[in-house]
Structure 1
Amino acid sequence: MGSRRIRALQLALWRRLLEAPAAPPLARRWLSARPARAPRMEYPDAIRTLNTLQTNASYLEQVKRERGDPQAQLEAMKGFLERSGLKVEDLDQLNIIHVTGTKGKGSVCAFTERILRNFGLKTGFYSSPHLVQVRERIRINGQPISKELFSKYFWQVYNQLEETKDSEQAAMPAYFRFLTIMAFHVFLQEKVDLAVVEVGIGGAYDCTNIIRKPVVCGVSSLGIDHTSILGDTIEKIAWQKGGIFKPGVPAFTVPQPERPLEVLKEQAQRNSCSLYLCPDLDAFEKEDRPLQLGLAGDHQRSNASLALQLARMWLERKGYLDIGELRDPWPNPELPAKRPPPLAPVFRPGEPMVQGLQATEWLGRNQILHHGPVTWYIDGAHTTSSINACVRWFHQSALNEEKPRDGSELRVLLFNVTGDRDTAALLKLLLPCKFDYAVFCPNFTEVSTAGNADQQNFNVTLENVLTRCLQNQSYWNRLMEAKGGQDPWLSPAAEVEGMGGWLKPAPLHSSLLFMPPSTRPLNSNSLVFPCISHALQWITQGRDPHFQAPASRGLHPHPVATSGAVLLQEAATIRVLVTGSLHLVGGVLKLLDPSLSQ
């Protein structure tokens, strides 16, 4: 379908929603100026005021076109920090573990934090993005800070920055910069023993990189992501990631492709930093006692290995372990060209480490929820490498589940993607999962976001995100047509090694939501909804005991195929994979588990 036709259809949908009897004023909500600061100083007011620090979509595009010296951006971050009442050297007290990477860095941080908490240490943990509530980004001892603490520190920092404005320093830090500064204040005031800090994007020019003296640094698996900011090759991305290395600070990474590993080594040598490769997790296991991980998926093993090295090195350098017992001779970091970094020492993990790996939790990553006949497979994968890992995890997990006796099993993909990612490439990787339906929706939980300030996003408009969903649907339809003609699951080309034996249902002839009949690809089962809630309502058909579908509030019913709804109502098992965006995952978890919003 042409882009003009997609846009016309999307605009028709938009007008339809706006004209519904009880529909909220979406045009004002998503396209108007941002809200003014509320006079009160409670948690909801703090979130609404924080949202005013988001930049609008047009300004973001201008920044991309006119991006100046990245080093100047770091200097600006230091200026904001000082205006808030801190100096860069104050951050040295936080005993920071600084972690970057393309995929898995959040899991590495979660493993590392949980291990060190098992040693009786008071931990701080700063990560992004949040799934349900923004206070998830700043954690003490593994728990998001309370609404009271968030409000207290938010207003302290915000008011200080407001009061230090002058003719030369009139700006306020943007959303992520502000939260980073606030996290440093929280950790210092709450007197944590250490802080695990996850890089936002990249490394070299990320605002977290004002940290001068971390205790240890880590780099998880590298891949292609955020190309408009970090560069369009994996070597350029590796250079950005290696930008967090600091003189005299040991750094660890997992096995990487040859060229990006060379770049990391060059960055380490340039910064007088010792870089080491993590051994496979197998090296830390006893034959009679394999290590159990709290996070599912084989790809988590390299994340766990990196976390073990980061935790051990932190404990060594801060004097919490017997150095004489654990220390191995570290090789000279000045390695000849073309030689990979040396392997880090293998050691025997103690009980706090073993239990820490097993007890690690990290919502939205390889998470399975059993809700009656509906099983949710939730993973925020959004790069080619992480989608590949997600497909392997989903396939293995689904195979291990008990099969319905009558064989009536349906598989549904719920997908969205944000940023400058190659949607068609990601969707192509999901084809081997053999979904009966593909459902696309924006990351908004409801058509109206009233009362949901934690998940408001002023960087996009409803028009933008619905157009993207229709484009994603079009990509999927083309892939399905190319894959198998009238019955894609019976095509030999659809078989992938290790993926055989799946139930191959008869083709389901459902109509396309918001697409006229003349444009419908043969035998396509894809649908677009304006929000996550409407998508879940159709997928579950009232059969998920944990999901309470909201009242329609006068919105027109969706022209969804009756045959599809009937099949979902009658299937013994419905398996739903939610992936493509952590923001989508957060919205789904918010609706499936209301306790996360409390």
Structure 2
Amino acid sequence: MMRSYMARVGISVEELDHLNIIHVTGTKGKGSTCAYTEQILRNHGFRTGFYSSPHLVQIRERIRINGQLIGNELFSKHFLHVYGRLDETKDSHEGIMPTIFGFFTVLAFRVFLEEKVDVAVIEVGIGGHYDCTNVVRPWVCGIASLDIDHTHILGDTIDKIAWHKGGIFKPGVPAFTVKQPEDAMAVLRDRAKERNCPLWVCPDLEDYHADCGPLQLGLAGQHQHSNASLALQLSHTWLQRRNLPDGHFPATSVTNTDGLQGAAFKPSPIMVKGLADTVWPGRTQTVKHGAVTYFLDGAHTMRSMQACASWFKETSASRERTASGPVARVLLYNTSRERDSAALLKLLVPCHFDFAGFCPYLTEASVSCSTGEQFDRKVENCKVTRCLANEKCWRLHNNLGNDSGEHVLNGDSLSLVPEKKADTQVFPCVLSALQWVTQGRDSALADSEEMVATVRPSLKSKAALLRNAAEIHILITGSLYLVGGVLKHLDPATYQ
């Protein structure tokens, strides 16, 4: 189908070879890996294209040239061309039009070809084997960390998911993977042998020895180490091929299909700087606005949420040590229906939040959603049913409904004292949640002081801790869509 759509637009698979593609899949970390890889190659002076998904705020974020999302004029020009060609030819193709993701994949290919990029870094959408991006014939491909996700499409076990991811392997094209669970690794080895694809496992980041000492990463969190190592292998391999006279890999580099340990090397100063310069919004991102610090991470699988919780606890605690007074910890959470919210929220309990807010992806309500009456009328319209269920899960995890108290350690003995109860609240939109939890202390949020002043009494009673805190630390997680809704309000200039 993708070949058919491309042909209708005037693009052949052979033409895509001119993009010198790096193809990356995985459950978590594939976007970060692509961001590191693109930054390294851009630092080398190459004109880069980067196709990713999903977007946080603007659909144009999915298609980047030299690290920048394409402008409105360029986007409109290519959008109208691709849509026009597909629409004109649909009658001769049984009226078939591509999915949204398929359409934007074709659009990205056209943009990169027309803009004559030296390299295109292509992130897989879902899976790999049947993904729209899998028409490409890359120079090198990579697999980031695997986890259980999109089970209705990829299957409910790690080995089934690994089969789909290994579908991007191509004969003779070097492939790299980070360390995977053994069941997944066994499937990847089999897929590599089936396709005569050379496969290596990336070394630990600590195994690379640069003149500057330990490598510094632009993206926070221990889990980024494996993504950075994968990016080093991908960029290094791409550069090796680029520098060969015939543009082909030496024969000795395509003999390993067993997933052997890849070799660390000495990163060049350009590579070192590329890792440190990398920015990838919404992934372990910290934004400080005065007394309010936002911690943004779109984690939505078990392993990514574990990594998110570890990152937040470590980073928040470090900042608390230098605070001038008490710090209030706030959780702002939402997730899609297919996720196991109960399991994900349980991983966040050890972060010891003082307040937990839940809101839908709606960035703002069509009218003010600050009063109780307006909120009650808009509960269904704002689709907060899922948020109410998430709030219930959170309260159950924290034993918030038990007024009789719990046995806790008091001094040197156990006594029956009430457990500390963190407040919770469901908000009708992202803006109302941000305005209230910041208590008018972030000038970037329009009318936040008015929001606090007009909020219903039941919420006012919950605000004392936030008002009295020297700093407020807010973790926004569970979904990249929620993170995008927050960034739209925190940094509107970037996402115009």
What SS is found at the alignment partner of 1:242?
helix
Give the corresponding residue for 1:98: 23
Give the corresponding residue for 2:152: 228
Q: How does 1:357-396 map to 2 (within 5 A)?
A: 357-396=275-314
Q: Counterpart of 1:415 in structure 2: which amino acid?
A: Y
d(CA) in 1 for partners of 2:358, 2:211:
45
Give the corresponding residue for 1:217: 141
Deviations 1:3-52 (A, max 9, x none): xxxxxxxxxxxxxxxxxxxxxxxxxxxxxxxxxxxxxxxxxxxxxxxxxx
Q: Counterpart of 2:316 in structure 1: which amino acid?
A: A
d(CA) in 1 for partners of 2:322, 2:242:
54
Q: Counterpart of 1:271 in structure 2: which amino acid?
A: R
Tell me which moved more, 129-138 or 285-294. 285-294
Give the corresponding residue for 1:591: 489
Report the count of equivalent residues: 477
Q: How does 1:358-507 map to 2 (within 5 A)?
A: 358-403=276-321, 407-448=325-366, 465-481=383-399, 491=408
1:302 equivalent in alignment to 2:223: no
Choose the corresponding residue for 1:85, options 10, 15, 18.
10
What SS is found at the alignment partner of 1:98?
strand
1:141 equivalent in alignment to 2:141: no
Structure with the higher fraction of residues in strand conformation: 2
Give the corresponding residue for 1:452: none
d(CA) in 1 for partners of 2:48, 2:322:
44
For normalisation by structure 1, the TM-score amounts to 0.75
1:239 equivalent in alignment to 2:163: yes
Q: 1:170 to 1:372 in 2, by over 3 A?
A: same
Task: State the Cα distance separating 1:558 from its structure 2 match.
Answer: 4.5
Q: Counterpart of 2:157 in structure 1: which amino acid?
A: T
Task: State the Cα distance separating 1:566 from its structure 2 match.
Answer: 2.6
d(CA) in 2 for partners of 1:550, 1:321:
61
Task: State the Cα distance separating 1:80 from its structure 2 match.
Answer: 1.4
What SS is found at the alignment partner of 2:399?
helix
Contact 1:226 1:419 in 2 (8 A): no
Q: Counterpart of 1:533 in structure 2: which amino acid?
A: L
d(CA) in 2 for partners of 1:235, 1:541:
47
Contact 2:197 2:257 in 1 (8 A): no
Task: State the Cα distance separating 1:577 from its structure 2 match.
Answer: 0.4
Give the corresponding residue for 2:376: none
What SS is found at the alignment partner of 2:152?
helix
Give the corresponding residue for 2:192: 268
Post-superposition, which runs of at least 4 consecutive aligned residues in structure 1 deviate over 6 A?
Answer: 320-323, 482-488, 550-553
1:162 equivalent in alignment to 2:60: no
Contact 1:209 1:244 in 2 (8 A): yes
d(CA) in 1 for partners of 2:473, 2:245:
46
Task: State the Cα distance separating 1:466 from its structure 2 match.
Answer: 1.6
Give the corresponding residue for 1:534: 432
Give the corresponding residue for 1:177: 102
Contact 1:219 1:254 in 2 (8 A): yes
Contact 1:315 1:321 in 2 (8 A): no
Contact 2:42 2:66 in 1 (8 A): yes
d(CA) in 1 for partners of 2:246, 2:91:
52
Q: Counterpart of 1:232 in structure 2: which amino acid?
A: D
Q: 1:423 to 1:445 in 2, by over 3 A?
A: same
Q: Counterpart of 1:121 in structure 2: which amino acid?
A: F
d(CA) in 2 for partners of 1:225, 1:200:
12
Contact 2:36 2:274 in 1 (8 A): yes
Choose the corresponding residue for 1:349, options 264, 267, 274.
267
Task: State the Cα distance separating 1:536 from its structure 2 match.
Answer: 0.6
d(CA) in 1 for partners of 2:401, 2:462:
21
Task: State the Cα distance separating 1:288 from its structure 2 match.
Answer: 6.1
Q: Counterpart of 2:348 in structure 1: which amino acid?
A: L
Once superposed, what is the RMSD of the aligned Cα atoms? 2.8
d(CA) in 1 for partners of 2:465, 2:51:
44
Structure of higher RCO (CA pairs closer than 8 Å, 6+ residues apart): 1
Q: Counterpart of 2:174 in structure 1: which amino acid?
A: P
Q: 1:560 to 1:174 in 2, by over 3 A?
A: farther
d(CA) in 1 for partners of 2:187, 2:197:
13
Q: Counterpart of 1:99 in structure 2: which amino acid?
A: V
Alignment gaps of 5+ in structure 1: 1-75, 336-340, 450-460, 493-505, 509-522
d(CA) in 2 for partners of 1:547, 1:241:
41
Q: 1:320 to 1:255 in 2, by over 3 A?
A: same
d(CA) in 2 for partners of 1:560, 1:328:
71
Q: 1:355 to 1:321 in 2, by over 3 A?
A: farther
Contact 2:174 2:254 in 1 (8 A): no
Deviations 1:459-508 (A, max 9, x none): xx9669421111111111111118987678x957xxxxxxxxxxxxx977
Task: State the Cα distance separating 1:77 from its structure 2 match.
Answer: 2.1
Contact 1:543 1:569 in 2 (8 A): no
What SS is found at the alignment partner of 2:493?
helix
Deviations 1:528-586 (A, max 9, x none): 11110011111011011322237989xx9545432222321221111110000001001
d(CA) in 1 for partners of 2:340, 2:130:
24
Choose the corresponding residue for 1:249, options 173, 186, 198.
173
Task: State the Cα distance separating 1:429 from its structure 2 match.
Answer: 0.2
Identity percentage over the alignment? 54
d(CA) in 2 for partners of 1:329, 1:246:
17
Q: Counterpart of 2:336 in structure 1: which amino acid?
A: T
Q: 1:287 to 1:596 in 2, by over 3 A?
A: closer
Task: State the Cα distance separating 1:333 from its structure 2 match.
Answer: 2.2
Q: 1:420 to 1:89 in 2, by over 3 A?
A: same
Q: 1:405 to 1:111 in 2, by over 3 A?
A: closer
Give the corresponding residue for 1:7: none
Q: 1:279 to 1:155 in 2, by over 3 A?
A: same
Q: 1:578 to 1:157 in 2, by over 3 A?
A: same
What SS is found at the alignment partner of 2:398?
helix
1:546 equivalent in alignment to 2:469: no
Q: Counterpart of 1:137 in structure 2: which amino acid?
A: R
Q: Counterpart of 2:289 in structure 1: which amino acid?
A: H
Task: State the Cα distance separating 1:171 from its structure 2 match.
Answer: 2.5
Task: State the Cα distance separating 1:150 from its structure 2 match.
Answer: 0.5
Alignment gaps of 5+ in structure 2: 368-378, 410-417
